[in-house]
Amino acid sequence: MHLQIVGGNRLVGTVTAAGSKNAALALMAAAMLPAGETVLRGVPRIADIEVFRALMASVGAPSEWTDRHTLVISGGGLLDQTPPVELARKMRASYYLMGPLLGRLGRARVGLPGGCTIGARPVDLHLKAFAALGARTGIEAGEAWAEARRLRGADMTLVGPFGPSVGATINALLAACVTPGVSRIHGAAQEPEVVEVTAFLNRAGARIAGAGTGLIEVEGVRRLQAVAYDVPGDRIEAATYLLAGAATGGDVQVEGVAPWALDGLPRLLTQMGCACATEAGAVRVVAPPRLQAVEAVTGPFPALATDIQPVLVAALCRAQGGSLVEERVFDARFGYTSELERLGAQIRIVAGATAVITGVARLGGAPMSGTDLRATAALVVGALTAEGESQVEGLAFLDRGYEGLERKFASLGADIRRVGAPLRTTAVKQEAVR
Ligand code: UD1
């Protein structure tokens, strides 16, 4: 299976963002804390959610779809069990099982997570949080474990070499909110997903203050009640459609996403020569025929999200002038740029951390193969701006995180469709003649 894209169409119209993948995964984990039935509305229908449902079911928290995007999760029967390693390895977010299991059962053991190949993805900060709460922790035979007879609130600092960790901050919250005593998370991540999980937990009866700042204070409570909650719109998906609109000289509005969650993207789009308007729950970009080159640096929120970086680089390939995009969160996130070069893009990676993009007037279609979720989205955006036909492989990655990507692009006027036959031979031949 691959996507067949005839690029060059100006994208025009309105799309609605699906529920946020990363927020939904964290909220699902949080739903393991109350003993009753949690209702999550607006959960995206993507592969990562299905893998996480299977992981949760394997530790006694099954869930059911009651309509297309509503998930009902039962947290009543958590089990002291290790989820199947092959499932845990399928995704990064499998670490989110640890916080609730440790918080409620005093024991957690989960296969070391997998996920996108974008650089080192250690779990030391997660284990540091659990250890601060009084757990013994370790990594053994490919599994991370934490265990405690009694947890108690504590101060902890969760900053790693690349800054705060979203996952470790959320995992610390999940365990600490049901741990007696007061915990303080210094160096907390400030991403919108942390704010969402806190809002959910507080609605369920937790006592957490300071989410969205670098210091979060948690007063542990004995138990949480099940509640209903709406998953926010996906800021990374929204950024993908906005940047694709910008790169094609288009006029695209994305609804269902809070503009504040989009980091500095509206400002960046303005620097790129676009008119960018935000209102409650919607962002619209109107782009000139060719974008202006920009300099951008990814970082922890409120800096530009690292997950936007590949799509931004793709959008800048046809800009006027030279752009610089520096990656400061993951240490190997430029593996996809050689695929964009098949379109005729000129990208040089300096010191492994900065993409130097020399804008070219014209890109031409080519076969490309994605290596991770956002990288594959970047190849799609590149193909949409290239004249002629491209094929993008790597749909298993795309389907992990985007619901109805080609349907949404087609509704904006893109010539894009999913077709059956594998393409490897074409891509390899092409490479052989380069
Ligand atoms: C989450 C998102 C991912 C996003 C990332 C940064 C999910 C499922 N994934 O990933 O899409 O790109 O936030 O916004 O929500 N680190 C350590 N030790 C740790 C944990 C992380 O050193 O124990 C490092 C990482 O290697 C990385 C940096 O901290 O360099 C930030 O990673 P982190 O925020 O933890 O990313 P994730 O939560 O895994």
Sorted by where each starts, the structural domains of the chain and their CATH numbers stand as 2-18+233-419 (3.65.10.10), 21-230 (3.65.10.10)
The contacts found for 319-322 with CB under 8 angstroms, 24 or more apart, are 319/272, 319/290, 319/291, 319/292, 319/293, 319/294, 319/357, 319/359, 320/290, 320/291, 320/292, 320/293, 320/359, 321/292, 321/293, 321/359, 322/293, 322/356, 322/357, 322/358, 322/359
pLDDT bucket at 420, cuts 50 / 70 / 90: confident
Amino acid at 22: N
CB distance 139 to ligand 1 below 6 Å: no
Q: Mean pLDDT throughout 92-117?
A: 89
- Atom in ligand 1 nearest the alpha carbon of residue 93: 8
| CA–CA separation, 412 and 222 (whole Å) | 49
Task: Please work out whether the CB of residue 400 comes within 6 Å of at least one atom of ligand 1.
Answer: no
Q: Does residue 298 line the site of ligand 1, with CB under 6 A?
A: no
pLDDT tens for 115-132 read 556 666 789 999 999 999
Residue 358 pLDDT > 50, yes or no?
A: yes
Residue-wise pLDDT for 246-287, tens only, equals 999 999 999 999 999 998 899 999 999 999 999 999 999 999
Span 309-327, pLDDT tens digits: 999 999 999 999 999 999 9
Chain-centroid distance of CA 147 in Å reads: 29
Question: Does the Cβ of 121 fall within 6 Å of ligand 1?
Answer: yes
Please give the distance, rounded to the nearest whole angstrom, from the Cα atom of residue 85 to the centre of ligand 1: 20
And the tokens for 268? 């960046």
Residue 242 has which token pair?
A: 């906005």
If you measure from the C-alpha of residue 248 to the centroid of ligand 1, how many angstroms do you get, rounded to a whole number? 31
Give the containing element (helix H, strand E) for 426: helix 424-433
- Told to judge if 177 belongs to the known catalytic residues of this protein, a careful annotator would answer no
Helix (H) / strand (E) element for 259: namely none
Is the minimum distance from the CB of 287 to ligand 1 under 6 angstroms?
A: no
Give me 25's structure tokens.
């995964």
Average pLDDT over residues 336-347: 98
Q: Whose CA is nearest to atom 35 of ligand 1?
A: 165
CA distance 198 to 188: 12
> What 3-state DSSP class applies to 92?
helix
DSSP string, 96-130: GGHHHHHHHHSEEEEEPP----SS----HHHHHHH
Asked whether 124 lines ligand 1 (CB < 6 A), one says yes
- For 327, phi then psi, to 5°, come to -105, 120
Q: CA torsion sign, 171 to 174 to 178 to 183?
A: positive
Distance 121 CA to ligand 1 centre (A): 7
Q: Is the CB of 299 under 6 A from ligand 1?
A: no
Nearest CA to ligand 1 atom 15: 22
| Ligand 1 center–CA 166 separation, angstroms | 6
SS3 230: strand
Pairing of strands 37-41, 63-67: unpaired
Ligand 1 pocket test, pick from 165, 297, 374 with the greatest ligand atom count within 8 Å of Cβ, gives 165
Residue 27 CB–ligand 1 contact under 6 Å? no
- Please tell me the predicted confidence (pLDDT) of residue 335: 94
Nearest to 257 by CA among 45, 66, 21, 11: 21
Ligand 1, atom 33, residue with closest C-alpha:
165
Tally Cβ neighbours within 10 Å of residue 415.
14
Cα separation, 278 vs 230, whole angstroms: 21
d(CA 235, CA 256) in angstroms, rounded, equals: 9
For the CA of 236, the nearest atom of ligand 1: 11
**Which ligand 1 atom is nearest residue 113's CA?**
39
Q: Mean pLDDT across the stretch 370-399?
A: 96
Which of 193, 262, 329, 402 should be mutated for ligand 1, with most atoms under 8 A from CB? 329
Residue 433, pLDDT > 90, answer: no
Total Cβ atoms within 10 A of residue 16: 16
Q: What is the mean pLDDT of the chain?
A: 94
Terminal-to-terminal C-alpha distance of the chain? 24
125 CA closest ligand 1 atom index: 23
Q: Could you tell me if 220 and 249 are in contact, meaning their C-beta atoms sit under 8 angstroms apart?
A: no
Task: Return the structure tokens found at 337.
Answer: 């740029």
Task: Please report the pLDDT score of residue 121 as a whole number.
Answer: 74
122 lines ligand 1 (CB under 6 A): yes
